[in-house]
A and B are shown apart, each in its own frame.
Chain A
Amino acid sequence: MITRFLLQNMDRRGYVFLGLIAALAVLMPLSNLLLPVGSAFHVPTSTMSLWGKYLCYALLAISLDLVWGYCGILSLGHGAFFALGGYAMGMYLMRQIGSRGVYGNPVLPDFMVFLNWQELPWYWYGFSSFPFAMLMVLAVPGLLAFVFGWFAFRSRVTGVYLSIITQALTYALLLAFFRNDMGFGGNNGLTDFKDIVGFNVQAQTTRAALFAMTCVMLIAGFLIARGIVVSKLGKVVIAIRDAESRTRFLGYRVDRFKLFVFTVSACMAGVAGALYVPQVGIINPSEFNPANSIETVIWVAIGGRGTLVGAALGAVVVNWAKTVFTSGFMAPYWLFALGGLFVFVTLFMPKGILGTAQEWWGKRRKPTPTAAPAPAPAE
């Protein structure tokens, strides 16, 4: 039943996406591990980790597209769920350091020794176990989204008001995690990781495995999100986006449907965060920065809202451009370029890269001279 659910009505776009990610999952680690460093096809470990980061962002973008593109919930705080998943993974990695820290304390992470703490806070219990930490990667963002959504959707908070509250949520978490006495490492966050399930995080093979795992999770996330949006529940969710009160008069409990997609989406963002942390080697409160969440919205808008594949594409394209732009002489102009790109896409490509490309493709394949010309974009 699960397979049928995940693969129902798979279209060509979906197969292309799945094939591409699956190929990346196999080819990039192989080329990194097997080909000699001098080979033209050798991928350096740093490049592989960089692409691993892009694909984590792609998963985050898909999770946002699920709530924004399909359900019309513009979350400006999805970075919070990403960061919480990241912190859960970071806590596991901290506990794996053991007595190899600077202070050599077998139980307490360095920052706690530095703060003169005598014992591990209760909420750090269990994080030395990998399965428990992975459960928390899903449970913490999921629970926060569920509680937040329960109150927000039942009170029928919608539109810009909801966006502002999500923004406030991530900002509040940013401030909270900055505090040293919260017990999450304050503004330094969690870093200096050593092992993950017994393997050295820095090792080339571990990096390759983490990259492949990111691809696998991106595929899983895409299949789940796609399964949801093409199901009847997906049709209800689109109906809610387009005519919420009409959907209510048909007898659907709008708040429960919103709560469902919002929670699933938050769990997905948490997984993305958990994969991100071991590949970049640090998690700190700046991940909660509202600007990060807004940037995620821009990726989705640029790639193509309500397409899933477009969201992933947008995340990769924008972040790749960011790497290129911020590493050369153009570095000071990156934010202008991003802002300009967002304005351009909103004005001239309202369906994003993917939507516009599909329109062109459709026109080329079956020219319809009788079709009415598309309305010119407003000047």
Chain B
Amino acid sequence: MNAPAPGQLTSSLLYLDGVSVSFDGFKAIRGLSLTIEPGEMRAIIGPNGAGKTTMMDIITGKTKPDVGTVMFGGKVDLTKLDEAAIANLGIGRKFQKPTVFDFHTIEDNILLALKAPRDVRRTLFWNTAASQQKRIDDILGIIKLGDARDRLAGSLSHGQKQWLEIGMLLAQDPKLLLVDEPAAGMTDGETAETAVLLKEIARDHSVIVVEHDMGFIRELGVKVTVLHEGSVLAEGPLDQVSANERVVEVYLGR
């Protein structure tokens, strides 16, 4: 690990330490610690109820932890910020169920996500510059929806919606992407293509992927963190993790 720059507590992009949160007495996350380095792609697996989505909620500001530290870029305390502020810091999120704006065209979906000032005045008097239009066109090409740009997003198939949402993340150009089950409900072919796309994105972004599909994680070929009952059970390469007895017992074996 590199030495932190002055003013930074850690050189990690994302740093969670001793995070706990409970809902009505149920401890969803207990003492979770996790670090993501700049440029790293990490896969997170775990059985249902392991706390994967709650962890994402904490990072993106939807849920506030009861105790623990959540630092971004070594100096920003994420627990003090709301969703919009965290998104503007450069943390993008793709939901498990694809959430696109059904009544907007595909192009407008990308436009809304495109990195740009988010205040009321500048969105009211917005003009799409040529360079921004080119970026939108590029992204539409990457997610293979260029020909469908004028269609309403609500008319897309499930797999296409997943891709559109990934395209929206690209448009946001965040430093860290949180991707929740990108391959859910996809055909094998689509899943393989999604893995290629994510690997491409990971070249210049840090990515956290939550996924159930073992084949998909194998294809990504990255470090894996196993969550169980709200804390880290094991961490390492997929082969090493899947050989771990505890992991087999709570998750893989059944």
At the interface, yes or no: B124 with Cβ under 8 Å from chain A?
yes
Contact A1 B125 (CB under 8 A): yes
Across the two chains, which residue of chain B brings its CB closest to A256?
B120
At the interface, yes or no: B216 with Cβ under 8 Å from chain A?
no
Contact B120 A246 (CB under 8 A): no
CA distance A233 to B120 in the complex (A): 7
Give the contacting residue for A5; candidates B83, B120, B125; CB below 8 A.
B125
Give the contacting residue for A248; candidates B87, B92, B120; CB below 8 A.
B87
Min CB distance A374 to B, Å, is 15
List residues of B (99-138) whose CB comes within 8 Å of A's CBs. Answer: 99-104, 108, 111-113, 118-120, 123-126
At the interface, yes or no: A359 with Cβ under 8 Å from chain B?
no
Knowing A239-B104, A242-B103, A249-B93, say if A232 contacts B126 (CB, 8 Å): yes
Min CB distance A118 to B, Å, is 47
Mark each residue of chain B from 9 to 39: 1 if its CB lies under 8 Å from any CB of chain A, else 0: 0000000000000000000000000000000
CA distance A165 to B146 in the complex (A): 45
Give the contacting residue for A231; candidates B100, B101, B125; CB below 8 A.
B125
At the interface, yes or no: A197 with Cβ under 8 Å from chain B?
no
Give the contacting residue for A250; candidates B82, B104, B124, B172; CB below 8 A.
B172
Interface residues on B, range: 20 to 34
Contact B111 A250 (CB under 8 A): no
Min CB distance B170 to A, Å, is 13
Knowing A231-B125, A233-B124, A235-B112, say if A252 contacts B84 (CB, 8 Å): yes
Report B-chain residues with C-beta under 8 Å of the C-beta of A5: 125
At the interface, yes or no: A257 with Cβ under 8 Å from chain B?
yes
Min CB distance A44 to B, Å, is 43
At the interface, yes or no: A254 with Cβ under 8 Å from chain B?
yes
CA distance A239 to B109 in the complex (A): 9
Across the two chains, which residue of chain B brings its CB closest to A261?
B120
Contact A252 B111 (CB under 8 A): no
At the interface, yes or no: A228 with Cβ under 8 Å from chain B?
yes
List residues of A (236-252) whose CB comes within 8 Å of B's CBs. Answer: 236, 238-239, 242-243, 245-252
Min CB distance B208 to A, Å, is 15
At the interface, yes or no: A179 with Cβ under 8 Å from chain B?
no
Knowing A233-B123, A253-B84, say if A242 contacts B172 (CB, 8 Å): no
At the interface, yes or no: B251 with Cβ under 8 Å from chain A?
no
Interface residues on A, range: 20 to 34
CA distance A239 to B154 in the complex (A): 12
Contact A232 B124 (CB under 8 A): yes
Contact A254 B84 (CB under 8 A): yes
Contact B126 A252 (CB under 8 A): no
Report B-chain residues with C-beta under 8 Å of the C-beta of A17: none
At the interface, yes or no: A260 with Cβ under 8 Å from chain B?
yes
At the interface, yes or no: B88 with Cβ under 8 Å from chain A?
yes
Knowing A233-B120, A233-B126, A239-B101, say if A249 contacts B87 (CB, 8 Å): yes
Min CB distance A231 to B, Å, is 5
Contact A235 B104 (CB under 8 A): yes
Contact B88 A251 (CB under 8 A): yes
Q: Counting chain B CB atoms within 10 Å of each CB, which of A232, A247, A251 scores highest?
A: A251
Knowing A231-B125, A257-B120, say if A246 contacts B99 (CB, 8 Å): yes
CA distance A231 to B124 in the complex (A): 6
Min CB distance A370 to B, Å, is 15
Min CB distance A249 to B, Å, is 5
Report B-chain residues with C-beta under 8 Å of the C-beta of A254: 84
Across the two chains, which residue of chain A brings its CB closest to B90?
A251
Give the contacting residue for A246; candidates B88, B95, B124, B125; CB below 8 A.
B95
CA distance A233 to B113 in the complex (A): 13
Give the contacting residue for B101; candidates A228, A246, A253; CB below 8 A.
A246
CA distance A322 to B111 in the complex (A): 44
Contact B108 A249 (CB under 8 A): no
Min CB distance B127 to A, Å, is 9
Q: Counting chain A CB atoms within 10 Å of each CB, which of B93, B102, B120 scores highest?
A: B120
Report A-chain residues with C-beta under 8 Å of the C-beta of B87: 248-251
Mark each residue of chain B from 214 to 254: 1 if its CB lies under 8 Å from any CB of chain A, else 0: 00000000000000000000000000000000000000000
Q: A251-B87, A253-B84 are in contact. List 11 more A-B contacts (CB 8 A).
A: A231-B125, A231-B126, A232-B112, A232-B126, A235-B108, A235-B112, A239-B112, A243-B100, A249-B83, A249-B87, A250-B87
Which 8 pairs show the lowest CB-CB distances between chains A and B?
A: A251-B87, A232-B126, A233-B124, A233-B123, A248-B83, A251-B88, A246-B99, A253-B84
28 sample A-B contacts, Cβ–Cβ < 8 Å, listed by A number: A228-B124, A231-B123, A231-B125, A232-B111, A235-B104, A235-B108, A236-B112, A238-B103, A238-B104, A242-B102, A242-B103, A243-B100, A245-B62, A246-B100, A247-B112, A248-B82, A248-B87, A249-B83, A250-B112, A251-B84, A251-B87, A251-B172, A253-B84, A254-B84, A256-B120, A257-B120, A260-B120, A260-B124
